[in-house]
Amino acid sequence: MGQSTNGMLAYGYDLGGEEGWKLQEAGEYGELPELPWFDEENEDGDGFQESAERRLLAEIAGFTETWSSGNEGYSDRKREAKAQVGVEFDTHCSGDYPMYLIATKVITVYRGSVKDIDMAALAVEPEMNGWDEKLRIALQALGITPTQEKARWLLCSYWG
């Protein structure tokens, strides 16, 4: 079993994680604020990312289905709802201590790989695709405010 050591370039916000949330609503020591859609004691084992994704699917796309055997077309409907939301979560730092990003685009370069990136295209892509508005709507639906002043390109790494 190998180790993943990936580089990531994402357009969005760094939300931090358990070691310190980068949210204006965070507690005095950086702890996650109480959020009506997230229960840390959830017996189903859903973490922050799964709960946040479920909230966005319900609030923005109206998608509240859960998978069950014989639920034909579920995956296609969920994929369409995710496209409607227009943002995604990803983790950086490490598998043991994840830190979260909410982003409209994530480019991952896996260990040993190289990706050619057109920086000029990246510079105009957020405005052309309405990414800032999608992020604003998602953050509002989650009821969180990042400490980061505005969305921007973030270069981060993942080890796990």
How many Cβ atoms sit within 10 Å of the Cβ of residue 18? 15
Q: What is the pLDDT of residue 2?
A: 59
Q: Which two tokens stand for residue 117?
A: 């990136």
Q: Is 110 helix (H, G, I), strand (E, B) or coil?
A: coil
Tell me 74's DSSP state. Answer: H
Number of domains the chain contains: 1
Tokens 């609030």 sit on residue: 59
Task: Give me the sign of the Cα torsion angle 87, 90, 92, 98.
Answer: positive
Domain that holds residue 154: 5-159
Low-confidence ranges of the chain (pLDDT < 70): 1-2, 43, 45
